[in-house]
Amino acid sequence: MQQLLHDIRSIVAGARERVARSVNHELTTVYWQIGQLLVEDEQKGKERAGYGKRQVEVLSVHLMQEFGSGFSAQNLWLMRQLYLAFPILHAVSRELTWTHYRTLVRLDNPGKREFYIAEAVKNAWSVRQMERQINSLLYERLLMSQDKESVLAVAKGEAQPMNPQDLIKDPTVLEFLGLKPHAAYYESDLEQALITHLQEFLLELGNGFSFVARLKRIILGGDEFKIDLVFYNRLLQ
C-alpha cells in the first residue's frame, strides 16, 4: 500500500513539474515573440527605438486593460531586451522561467549571460539563488583564477574540472552568515554560522561539494587532531 501510494505520488509530482516547465517556457516564448514584434515591426529592425518611450507606454495601457499587469511598460521593455539578447528562440532554455530571464537580460556581457544560464540549468537554481550568485560576482571571481573559455566550458559541461582552481572561488563571499564585517569572532562562531547556513555555504562552494563531517578525528604521526568541518568534492575526488 505504501509503495503504491509513493509511486502514484511520484507520477503526479512528475507530471505537475513537466506541466509547470511547459507553461513557463510557453510564457517566455510569448514574451520573446512580443519582443521580436517591438524590435522588427515597430522599430524597423533598429536596436534603438525611434518611436520612443511614449509609444510603449500607450501600448502597455491597452495590453494591461485586456491581459493584466504582466504587460506593464517595464515588462515590454524587458521583452524587447529578451529578443535582443537572444535573437534565436532556440537559445532560450526550457529549464528557466521568465523571472530568470528578467534578471539575465539585464546583464550586458553575453559571455556572462551564457555562464549563468548554464549554471542555473545545471544546478537547478531558483531565481533567488541565481540573483545571489550574480550579485556576489561569481563569474568574475572564477575568472580571477582561470580564463573565460575554461569557465564557460566547465559551466556548460563541455569540460571536467581538473584541479581545485577550476572550482574554488577566490574570494569566497559569505554575506548570508550575518556576521558583521571588521568585527572580531572566535573560530567557533564562524564554524557554527557555517553549519547553520550549510545549504547556502554549499551553494557558495560550488559544483560537486558535499558535507562529510564535523570535528572529524584523524591521527597523524601518532598525534590526534580534529578537523572542524570536512567537505568532499565528487568531481575532483
Using left for φ > 0, alpha for ψ between -120 and 50, and beta otherwise, residue 227 falls in: beta
Q: What is the pLDDT of residues 37-84, one digit of tens each?
A: 888 766 565 555 555 677 888 888 999 998 888 899 999 999 999 999
Q: What is the pLDDT of residue 231?
A: 87
The answer to whether residue 32 scores a pLDDT higher than 90 is yes
Task: Using alpha carbons only, give the angle 68, 73, 77 rounded to the nearest 5 degrees.
Answer: 120
Rg (CA), the chain: 23
Checking if the pLDDT of 161 tops 70, the result is no
Q: How many Å separate Cα 85 from the centre of its chain?
A: 17
| Angle made by CA atoms 69, 74, 77, in degrees to the nearest 5 | 120
Q: Is the CB of residue 165 less than 8 Å from the CB of residue 145?
A: yes
Q: What is the b/e burial string over 129-162, where b = at least 16 CB atoms within 10 angstroms of the residue's CB? A: bbebbbebebbebbbebbeeebbbbbbeeeeebe
Mean pLDDT confidence for 175-181: 73
Question: 194 is written with which cell numbers?
Answer: 557555517
Q: Which residue has the higher pLDDT, 92 or 12?
A: 92
| pLDDT digit string, tens, across residues 3-27 | 877 777 888 887 877 777 778 888 8
- Look over the chain and give the mean of its residue pLDDT values, rounded to a whole number: 81
Tens digit of each residue's pLDDT (9 = 90 or more) over 144-157 = 766 666 666 666 66
Is the pLDDT reported for residue 132 higher than 80? Answer: yes
Alpha carbon distance 208, 94 (integer Å): 24
Cell readout for 178 is 550575518
Q: What percent of the chain has pLDDT over 70?
A: 82
What is the model's pLDDT at position 42? 67
- 212: confidence class by pLDDT, cuts 50, 70, 90: confident
